[in-house]
Structure 1
Amino acid sequence: MCGIVGAVSQRNIVPILVQGLKRLEYRGYDSCGVAVHQDGLLRRTRSTSRVAELDAQVANEAVQSGTGIAHTRWATHGAPAVHNAHPHFSTGPNGSARIALVHNGIIENHDELRAELQAKGFVFESQTDTEVIAHLVNHLYDGDLFDAVQRATQRLKGAYAIAVFCRDEPQRVVGAREGSPLVLGVGQGETFLASDAMALAGVTDQIVYLDEGDIVDLQLGKHWIVGRQSDGTHRAVQREVRTVHAHSGAAELGPYRHYMQKEIFEQPRAIADTLDGVSNVAPELFGDQAFKAFKDAEQVLILACGTSYYSGSVAKYWLESIARIPTSVEIASEYRYRDSVPNPKTLVVTISQSGETADTIAALKHARALGMAHTLTICNVGTSAMVRECAHAFVTRAGVEIGVASTKAFTTQLVALFLMTLALAQTRGRLTEDEEAGHLKALRHLPSAVQAVLALEPQVIAWAEEFARKENALFLGRGLHYPVALEGALKLKEISYIHAEAYPAGELKHGPLALVTSAMPVVTVAPNDALLEKLKSNMQEVRARGGELFVFADSDTQISSGPGVHVIRMPEHYGALSPILHVVPLQLLAYHTACARGTDVDKPRNLAKSVTVE
């Protein structure tokens, strides 16, 4: 969601800015733009098309400079339109643009600031909250951009990462962050800003992760950072410069039609990489001091959003049945806005693909404020804010995930959560050596098992042709496969725009059965587990109402194809780890249905990859 790139250099940085935006396209956006300091003036080019179109525009207009900023915007305040696209300008006393600014996040007091600035004579050209910041910096500017930005941030309420430069101070860019990620890149005689280190891949691998409240001054070959102190003042600070290999090669599409398809087929490797080096089950997999947190834990609280929430929902079944520890799973965006009963002996687990999900970070901070200090994150980005905020972490090794609809991040999250379950079970004396060996053997076989499921793709494609003509679908599951049904429905609605809902199969007769007709396909997740016979009864309820069943069944379930019943047989039953296998054909079904409908699979409408605002 929203990407920032900025640079100060002696060379023309416009190609770097545009390339950085291309590397951030996976985050989702609906407009983009670039602004530079050129010939003593501020110039900008904006577009509501893709970054490739912006690239053509800057080339056609001969935009070039050593100082500039660029942005991809995901609309919040104001429609996706050129006048709302970033960068935003604010005009100086002589009538020409003096301040250029880009912004990620949401300014909660923008209405109040807008009225104040309008009263001072500032004219607004957009409906965005971002333009308020540009005019505020301009209003406070008195010859020192860094000072103006520092004073402006004291007036802002909400979340932001900003990059600003001024017509009157060539070769200088100022950045600031609060609740939204921003990194500094250190090059040879040049400096960079970005919302994600990946934007700077191939430009520099020397990265500084800015802390909450930091303000950074970028100039030729040098930078200056002030950090917010506990009393609210700012003082000069030193932040660690890390070597970060954010290679762009992982973003190459290769022989695949879409990134989502590539990432679905990367799951065997991603799972194997995540399990690499795991020779036994131990709390130390989650950090050197994790044993005490696991030993002290009386319950587990999982905080997550979207797909990550569904992985946490699967983990609840594992944690309570294998580790025998009470577990609650909360939607992060709801958790901090309700009264809850905190227990200091709770292990708080956050789950996030990016590690920058604003709602989950806010929920984590809320849990800590309630006195729950044992925190752990399952995350795919080891340098993310979530990893830095939590006391313990397990970093999955899914690699870069470009498609907005998460696939390999989900299955690797499940692998990590299963390992956490085993570690907690071991710590609580609930795991024998034989059980541990059996679970580890099953985990090591997972990549091969997933590969066998991927071989079902041709059968799934045939189903997708049927689904592409539908506008609604039901997904059913029972037990720990109910969250898998939820994830399957989410995938279908995310990328094909088919309305899809998931229910525990036993809930059919309590309302959803009213929706069942021959026009409503009913997808059923049917593993050979203790609930199979109950599930078969639920399937008969669907058939009795003329509903058409599409069943992913384990090979030994005795469920056969027939009138109104379509069956794809899974290669094998996989016990507790079955959700990891059963979600894969649901991903394929969503993907191929979207392809058949001609939607933008990797960048579905209205959605963003990394949700860095509430």
Structure 2
Amino acid sequence: MCGIIGIIGNDQVAPRLVDALKRLEYRGYDSAGIATLQDGKLDRRRAEGKLVNLENRLAREPLPGVIGIGHTRWATHGRPVERNAHPHITNRLAVVHNGIIENFAELRAMLEAEGCRFETETDTEAVAHLVTRALEKGKTPVEAVRDSLPLLKGAFALAFLFDGDEELLIGARQGPPLAIGYGNGEMFLGSDAIALAPFTDQIVYLEDGDWVVLTRKGATIYDENNNRVERPVQKSQSANFLVSKGNHRHFMQKEMFEQPEVISHTLSNYLDFTMGTVREEAIGVDFSTIDRLTITACGTAFYAASVARYWFEQIARLPVDIDIASEFRYREMPLSKNSLALFVSQSGETADTLASLRYCKAQGLKIASVVNVTGSTIARESDAIFPTLAGPEIGVASTKAFTCQLSAMAALAIAAGKARGTIDARQEQQLVRALSEAPRYINQVLKLENQIEAICQHLAKVKHVLYLGRGTSYPLAMEGALKLKEISYIHAEGYAAGELKHGPIALIDETMPVIVIAPSDRLYDKTVSNMQEVAARGGRVILITDRKGAEGARIDTMATIVLPDVPELITPLVYALPIQMLAYHTAVTMGTDVDQPRNLAKSVTVE
């Protein structure tokens, strides 16, 4: 997750920018840089690698100025080299960016046709030239940013510094977080309150679609329709905490809303969005030599792996064995040395998963792991590591770690298909393109929160809930049931919809809600038949589908949650959001401890 900081200060800002960037190191990065105005003129310093490299450069080449912006970059478009590091500048402005501009290729082609010369491989440079173009047409900085933002597609947070204006910063948020800090004759802009903690505890969090004009006198905030709005000032406690809740009620809610951003970073680690290909250097496994995949995990990670089984088998035609780690470790399963053993764990310390890993290693298998903590024991004992880049996840009930696990394994399935010759270059590009769109669709789903919260007023009154799904929606049904159990303590079960008549249908009555996950895919008609069986027995259906699916349901539902039409590959990523929000708002309504539910720990490090 890239980090952003901006300061309109009363004294030299370079040291303060670097200090703020240090507080954003937990987000992960591969280069860093700052830009300031010296006597009204833009200047910048950048460096590959860690912040100490930037500090060393600043010691050799000081950067004066009382206004500036800074950035820690996790590479998405373009290699992690100084040339691609932020800030990006033109003769009129400097910009830093967190997120992905999905239509940057189209913007770049348009701008190049008009004579713009690009110096980097990044999507961010297109933003710099786009706003500069507006400035050169005679618009003010505020007008130039205002008129350029609607041309950008994707998820992004931006901060702009303008040549010749030592009293102005402009920020914008569409997806990734951005916060404003109020000081004594100073103003600040940052990715989160942690970055701003050394300077102020008076924080305003921009809402999705907001953009802000900062001067030394204060902040003027506009919404996505360019209407001036007020956002509440909050007193931040971030100086005392590693990670704050921001403007969210719970860490779990904050982490749900971080998913467009962290999924973008996870995907970009494995995929080259510019070329539409897998980054082969990020894979570390030769799938052409593997004839079987054995995946082991616990809890939510097991359900992520269960989704991935469909991808590996369908895309790469690679047979997959999958088991819960606590069972696998005692099965004494016969294993082939031509198999790859893949272990999935948020913490990288899960005891049963680690024991299973050591069993496979003793059998001579190549070991790979999908982990969120790359310094963990599972990561250290693996031959290949596939990081999920979700950042710290504080809520016990996993949200962003789950979707980042899905993201990483979807990319791996494409890599496996390419290596095994089961997909060609055109299919690879189509699949990569589909994954690149996931953050944007997820951002749209997050806007359904109020509708989902209203449904949860009814769910909070029941004692049992059934979840149904087919294909990749079956593991999602199990994950949805797990989430509801974990944090609301309502009994819930997830089933394959085709199993309904093999037992669970006996539970159906007018008191039991049945949550059906049913995108309008090739399995939809069969799932509709199961919904009709539920309705015929008085069951109350909550249907999660898309527009076409909602129109074709042909039954009265308790509620229908209509999601965007999405490519089949990314359905599990997008449909994970409503099941998370259903669990979260049900638990909030019931007044349970959402972030630390009873009897549960974040990482299970003992058997």
Q: Does the TM-score normalized on the shorter chain lie above 0.5?
A: yes
**In 2, are the aligned partners of 1:258 and 1:602 still within 8 Å (CA)?**
yes
Among 275, 278, 281, the alignment partner of 1:281 is: 278
The within-5 A match list for 1:188-207 is none
Separation in 1, partners of 2:566, 2:265: 23
Q: Which whole-Å deviations, capped at 9, do the CAs of 1:428-479 have from their partners, x for residues lacking one?
A: 0112111111111111111111000111111101110000001100000001
**In 2, are the aligned partners of 1:283 and 1:424 still within 8 Å (CA)?**
no
1:458 aligns with 2:455: no
Structure 1: which 5+ residue stretches go unaligned?
A: 1-201, 203-246
**In 2, are the aligned partners of 1:283 and 1:420 still within 8 Å (CA)?**
no
Among 548, 552, 557, the alignment partner of 1:556 is: 548
Q: Residue type of the partner of 1:473? A: V
Query: In the alignment, what sits opposite 2:439?
Result: 447
Q: Residue type of the partner of 2:342? A: V
The within-5 A match list for 1:191-590 is 251-277=243-269, 278-279=271-272, 280-287=277-284, 290-291=285-286, 294-372=287-365, 374-557=366-549, 558-559=551-552, 563-590=556-583
Per the alignment, in what secondary structure is the counterpart of residue 479 of structure 1? coil
Query: In the alignment, what sits opposite 2:595?
Result: 602
Aligned-residue RMSD, C-alpha: 1.6
Separation in 1, partners of 2:242, 2:307: 29
Per the alignment, in what secondary structure is the counterpart of residue 437 of structure 2? helix
Per the alignment, in what secondary structure is the counterpart of residue 393 of structure 1? strand
**In 1, are the aligned partners of 2:543 and 2:557 still within 8 Å (CA)?**
no
Identity, in percent, stands at 47
Query: In the alignment, what sits opposite 1:179?
Result: none
Separation in 2, partners of 1:358, 1:418: 25
Q: Which whole-Å deviations, capped at 9, do the CAs of 1:271-324 have from their partners, x for residues lacking one?
A: 11112353121543133xx22xx2221000001000000000001101111100
Q: Which whole-Å deviations, capped at 9, do the CAs of 1:337-359 have from their partners, x for residues lacking one?
A: 11312111111000000111111
The 3 A distance-change label for structure 1 pair 325 and 563 is closer
Q: Residue type of the partner of 1:595? A: V
Q: Which whole-Å deviations, capped at 9, do the CAs of 1:248-280 have from their partners, x for residues lacking one?
A: 866211110000000000000011111235312
Separation in 2, partners of 1:363, 1:596: 39
Separation in 2, partners of 1:542, 1:446: 31
Per the alignment, in what secondary structure is the counterpart of residue 603 of structure 1? coil
Structure 2: which 5+ residue stretches go unaligned?
A: 1-196, 198-238
Q: Residue type of the partner of 2:527? A: L
**In 1, are the aligned partners of 2:435 and 2:569 still within 8 Å (CA)?**
no
The 3 A distance-change label for structure 1 pair 529 and 563 is closer
**In 2, are the aligned partners of 1:311 and 1:483 still within 8 Å (CA)?**
yes
Separation in 2, partners of 1:377, 1:342: 17
How many Å apart are 1:402 and its aligned residue?
Answer: 0.2
Separation in 2, partners of 1:339, 1:407: 32
- For normalisation by structure 2, the TM-score amounts to 0.59
Separation in 2, partners of 1:310, 1:318: 13
**In 2, are the aligned partners of 1:271 and 1:447 still within 8 Å (CA)?**
yes
Query: In the alignment, what sits opposite 1:592?
Result: 585
Q: Residue type of the partner of 1:329? A: I
Q: Residue type of the partner of 1:552? A: I
Separation in 1, partners of 2:554, 2:241: 44
Separation in 2, partners of 1:338, 1:384: 25
**In 1, are the aligned partners of 2:517 and 2:544 still within 8 Å (CA)?**
yes
Separation in 1, partners of 2:426, 2:580: 34
The 3 A distance-change label for structure 1 pair 250 and 556 is farther
How many Å apart are 1:561 and its aligned residue?
Answer: 8.1
Q: Residue type of the partner of 1:380? A: N
Separation in 1, partners of 2:292, 2:348: 23
Per the alignment, in what secondary structure is the counterpart of residue 251 of structure 1? coil
Separation in 2, partners of 1:409, 1:561: 36
Separation in 2, partners of 1:469, 1:300: 43
Per the alignment, in what secondary structure is the counterpart of residue 397 of structure 1? coil
Separation in 2, partners of 1:586, 1:248: 32
Q: Residue type of the partner of 1:497? A: Y
Query: In the alignment, what sits opposite 1:156?
Result: none
Q: Residue type of the partner of 2:344? A: I
Separation in 1, partners of 2:476, 2:500: 17
Q: Residue type of the partner of 2:548? A: D
Q: Residue type of the partner of 1:475? A: Y
Moved more, 496-505 or 573-582: 573-582
**In 1, are the aligned partners of 2:267 and 2:411 still within 8 Å (CA)?**
no
Query: In the alignment, what sits opposite 1:117?
Result: none
Separation in 2, partners of 1:257, 1:381: 25
Separation in 2, partners of 1:474, 1:539: 12
Separation in 1, partners of 2:288, 2:427: 20
Per the alignment, in what secondary structure is the counterpart of residue 337 of structure 1? helix
**In 1, are the aligned partners of 2:528 and 2:553 still within 8 Å (CA)?**
no
Separation in 2, partners of 1:548, 1:561: 14
Separation in 2, partners of 1:309, 1:284: 26
Per the alignment, in what secondary structure is the counterpart of residue 337 of structure 2? coil
**In 1, are the aligned partners of 2:329 and 2:356 still within 8 Å (CA)?**
yes
Q: Which whole-Å deviations, capped at 9, do the CAs of 1:100-146 have from their partners, x for residues lacking one?
A: xxxxxxxxxxxxxxxxxxxxxxxxxxxxxxxxxxxxxxxxxxxxxxx
